[in-house]
Structure 1
Amino acid sequence: MQQVELIKRIKELKLKRNAVILAHYYSRPEVQDIADFVGDSLGLSQEAVRQSADVIVFCGVHFMGESAAILSPDKTVLLPEIDATCPMADMVNVEGLKKEKEKHPDALVVSYVNSSAAIKAESYICCTSANAVEVVNSLDANEIIFVPDKNLAAYVAARTDKKVIPWEGHCPTHHQILREDVLKMKEKHPEARFIAHPECRPEVLELADYIASTRGMIMYAKNLPAQEFIVGTECGLIHGLLKEAPSKKFYCISEFACCPSMKMVNLEKVLASLEKMQKVVTVSEDIKVRAKQALDRMLAVKVG
């Protein structure tokens, strides 16, 4: 089926199912283009709550679909590719987190939304890269266990007086962005501003002109007079950057800054998902209740 026909059929089925398509900035460009809402983890979490549709088709990885299912229990949440998992989310397990909580009984657990529903259920509150610092600083505790990203934990630790105990996890895509990559790109594009995601290594963030979530990076690049930017995150964001600032130039930090899991969803899979109402994301009631408390606490934190 040609792309034009695929898109036409997807639109028809969206109306028939009363469905809405949500996509992350790291998804394929053609998937972002057919989405009703494209955003970062925080924006997508908020949008899942706001939507009045009966069906949410979530073009992202598994933990994102789980979050939508938890926050919108009255909606059917479909994940076009059920095997699209987040390697970083898989780096923390419930048993290990429980042991860490036993070691630090006075600490509260902050889990990055890039984690499974089961991990969220073991957490006091969730956070995203857009609100991690505000979330941690809002807590009435001096010790924080931060899972699963040690790089985001380090970023937060530098911006709070609280003791942050990091979990030894990381995003492989961001973690393989090296200081040398930045220096090479800065030499190649001396006029460009370097914008970076806080999932990057601390030594990479030290070279950044601006550090922010994916949405934060877009707004910075859009509003700044500068015309050239080196993009220190998954390169799918460049599509969103060009949509918001089409006259500017954006350079991907590295050819390796690509998340295979985020690219697994394509138009054919979105269509199949709507045609067959597959794959439905389910979360057990016990985990759903506890995970929702952590997500609700996050959504209640004021940012900016």
Structure 2
Amino acid sequence: MDVAGSLRANAPLLVRIRSGWVPPATPPEPPRRGPSSVGLLAATPVVLAVMALLLDSPVAPAGFAVLGGFLLVVLLKMTSMNEPAERERPHARRVYEQARLYDGRYLLPEDFDREAADALGRAQRAIGTVLRSHVNAEGLLDGARNAVLLPEQEWEIARLLAKLSALRAEHRALLARGVAPEVAAVVQPLERALADSEAAIVARVEALERYAAHVTEAERAYHARGQIEELRTRLPRYEELLAESGADSLSVPEIERLAQDADQLERLLRRSVSSAHEAFRYLEG
């Protein structure tokens, strides 16, 4: 898995790391093998029976010793079950080292307020629509440039939204403490700056959504064209059946319409792809 994929897959771990948690630098010593949980469960009735016999005998203290020893084994087993698995520690350490190496180059959900998270989600859905489309995979769009430009757009939008969220949080905290009349004149331009910045970021998101809408239209035409082409390959069999059944007079208008539909879909697909390319060029600025 690449670094970006690793960081995406370990967001909860990154939250702990950012809060100050540091995983062990070296793997723990191999755990001592002890009795299994199933073994302990099976041994419990036997231990209780032996303890009861000892308590009714002249050597009653031995019964308490048996009980104490058994409880000690159970407690040790429970403690070992609560320890992190050995194989998880090296993984946590790798994520920790990646987080330190790429500090400042990744963001977490807690970095975004509600409005920013909504805007980022819109951008990510639009990008996913493009990158997962068949028209992109088939080369009808510029797949190589999409693979580079769209993640760059996602990061830049996310970075700006995180910065906007932090400034908005600071601004709200300031207002919550109360603002003196002399400061009110300064607050208003700052609020306009926040609003204008948000509008500019949202405009980027909307540009991505327009691009995704064109790709969606091209995708629809692409699939419809494929279905029409599949039907056209079956036409000889339908024509043969109509001729053999004596119903060939019914075939002409319906069958010819298939060819017309295919031509129309081909033109629609070309227009949709052309519009998508125009939207892509707008994203490049």
TM-score between both structures, scaled by the size of structure 1: 0.19
* Bigger Rg, structure 1 or 2: 2
More helix by share: 2
